[in-house]
Chain A
Amino acid sequence: MKDIFVLAEHRRGELREISMEMLTGAAKLGGTVIAVLLGKDVDEFAEKLAGFADKVLYINDDMFENYNSEAYQKALSALIKEHGPGLVMVGNTAQGVDMAPALAVELEAPMVTDITALEMDGDKPKPTRQYYGGKLDAHMAMKDADLYILTIREATFPAEEPSKSGEVVKVDNPVSEEITYRKFLEYVEPEIGDVDITQSTLLVGVGRGIREDKNLPVAEELAEALGADLAASRAVVDAGWLPSDRQVGISGKTVKPKLYLAIGISGAFQHVTGMKGAEVIVAINKDPDAPIFGIADYGIVDDLFKVVPKLVEKIQELKG
């Protein structure tokens, strides 16, 4: 089997978990796994990645101090042409999707995004991805080619303990020209309001099922009865019913409370990713097919407006 390139992802001094997840997954496929790391002063990251890869190729250069998809694309393109892997894995992240499709076009490499499962047919990937917000799995047949690119969804491959001792190779930046047409300016943190939900022990998550902000009191009552804080799905925040610092999910917070009680949340991946680490997950949703029931520990398939008030009563009763 041909070599596999895995693009490591890091941001603001942290190596992101997706990197180790992809390396772990790649290691099971059979080919030599090569981690590719672009950054400035990332020697430590390179050492860490060596625990998960057969080889680490990394570049230290000012150009990669902050993420720039155009710079990444140029560097990766050069490295790929030089080393000739058969498969390139990139995280299906804000960084990854900003670059991978362009790379695929440039290198004429078939690409499938947001993979949730992967089998190999020799050197050819047979990926699975989801459609309709996670309601269906889709099995994809890729075109024949010498090089394939896949963007991998977070948590598709569980990261394991480091078990390799890959060769760490520092290489020169193959990109000689400065990139003027896209420049990194700055990061801006989201504002934190009165509650930092990443610190909450108990959370009630509110989704589209709440229908309108007029109905928020239903959720607020439940939160109050439990002594929990309110969290929200993206839809609720986009609609302005709760502030953005309450948003749980890929573009919001990742929370690990003791209890996450999701009401009216379908469980689309983007949200689940932010709360699946909760110890106990409970879901109340009218739709029996809602993906949330797949990750919840307990569920009630019913109208939240009927169940939640009863639940509030029961909790008040139990609390005495």
Chain B
Amino acid sequence: MCAEEVGFVEKYDLLGCIQCGRCTGGCPVAMRTPLNVRTFMYFTQNEERLEELSENPDIWDCTTCFTCAARCPKGLEPLEVLIGLRSLQIEEGKIQPTVRDALESIFKDGNPWGSPRAKRMDWAEGLDVKILEPEAEETTDILLFICCTDAYDTRVQKVAQALIKVLNAAGVDYGLIGDDESCCGAEVRRMGEEGLFEMCDEENVELFNSYNVNRIVTVSPHCYNSFKKEYHELKHPIFHYTELVAELLEDGKLELEKEITKVVTYHDPCYLGKQNDIYDEPRYIITRIPGIDFREFDRCRERSLCCEGGGGKMWVESESTEERLAEARVMDAKEMGAEIIAVSCPFCLLTLEDATKVKGIDEEMRVIDILELLAEAL
């Protein structure tokens, strides 16, 4: 634990930046906040300015959508510089009380929502689910990782419940962790709390590796991304539920009996789409439902407009009062004639649904997870 402190310049390869501006040029939040990640790439080269830069509230506007990194011709990751600056604030303890509370809650109760661990399985009351035993002799095909937001948020609990309905209908052999399930730490890292993220990584890897399963399937793309790309020494392969469900449909394990004659569009989550190239499976699922009139956003796939749910935004208010990206997004959906925006991420679900309420179109526009749509068609 005694690694030499690596400076910003070296850690983020700042001297490789040619200041071309493609990062800021593609940054979705630059549309509504003063955040200019390109200037941060430049000024952080001066170690003496780091403290001052870390106190700039703009760094908390970043949603970590990854557009800047995807566009950078030098393969740099500007968002990581912002996360690095957040770390400096974290180590000083100078963060917004809402961020503090979320992090303390993860440390104490394994979820960022301030809810007791003992209530983590309340969403599954009355449902037929199996809880896995560590070191079991029998192999269970899938370890299903639920996600704190699905477990505790009353709106998103419906998604977890829909997932169970779908998996049970398809006769999938899966099991859950139960009350011992703890936060994946994806947002912890993005809020700059490296130390706490390492704890999540270590503890979760030890727990997951103790299960006798073939693979791990997550509900949230954020959990998926962290397990797949950031965790160390995980034994099992990681999948997102859209991959699993697409497979079930292909194999004919699900009977879609009911028609849903609605105009549906799909919002690609940053963490599933542009960060992990999973675009086709969700579309496959939606278009397999009889009756669906599927339409694409103009900004779809890699160009999908970030909903502003990630990067700690669930706990950090922006100073900007300009229209939120989610609000623009739902109005785009309305303009194209969509009645349903299908999502596959709990944060997208919450931010887009909130946006429909703010815009007053929540009566005519539903925001639901693909699983909820699918469950209705069963």
Contacts and interface: CB of A to CB of B under 8 A. Distances in A.
Question: Do A and B come into direct contact in the complex, CB within 8 Å?
Answer: yes
B113 interface: yes
Nearest to A239: B97
A210 to B, nearest CB: 11
B46 interface: no
A211 B113 contact: yes
B114 interface: yes
A17 interface: no
Contacts of B154: 303, 305-306
A317 interface: no
Nearest to A217: B357
Contacts of A239: 97
A212 interface: yes
B98 interface: yes
Interface in B8-28: none
Nearest to B354: A214
Interface in B99-120: 113-114
Interface in A258-311: 303, 305-306
A19 B114 CA distance: 40
A211 B97 contact: no
Contacts of B114: 211
Contacts of A214: 317
Contacts of A240: 97
Contacts of A306: 154
Nearest to A240: B97
A212 B155 CA distance: 16
Nearest to B157: A303
Contacts of B113: 211
Interface in A210-252: 211-212, 214, 239-240
Nearest to B357: A217
A239 B114 CA distance: 14
Contacts of B98: 212
A306 B154 CA distance: 8
A240 B96 CA distance: 12
A240 B101 CA distance: 13
A211 B98 CA distance: 10
Interface string B154-184: 1100000000000000000000000000000
Nearest to B155: A305
A215 to B, nearest CB: 11
Contacts of A303: 154
Interface in B304-326: 317
B336 to A, nearest CB: 28
A239 B101 CA distance: 10
Contacts of B155: 305
B195 to A, nearest CB: 24
Contacts of A212: 98
Interface centre among A212, A214, A305, A306 (most CB of B within 10 A): A212
Nearest to B97: A239
Nearest to A306: B154
Nearest to A212: B98
Interface centre among A211, A240, A303, A305 (most CB of B within 10 A): A211
A307 to B, nearest CB: 11
Nearest to A211: B114
A306 B317 CA distance: 24
A303 B97 CA distance: 24
A303 B156 CA distance: 14
Contacts of A211: 113-114
Interface in B73-117: 97-98, 113-114
Nearest to B113: A211
A179 B317 CA distance: 50
A266 B154 CA distance: 19
A173 B114 CA distance: 53
A303 B115 CA distance: 13
A122 to B, nearest CB: 44
Given A211-B113, A212-B98, A303-B154, 6 more contacts: A211-B114, A214-B317, A239-B97, A305-B154, A305-B155, A306-B154
Q: Which 5 A-B pairs have the closest CB atoms?
A: A305-B154, A303-B154, A306-B154, A212-B98, A211-B114
10 contacts: A211-B113, A211-B114, A212-B98, A214-B317, A239-B97, A240-B97, A303-B154, A305-B154, A305-B155, A306-B154
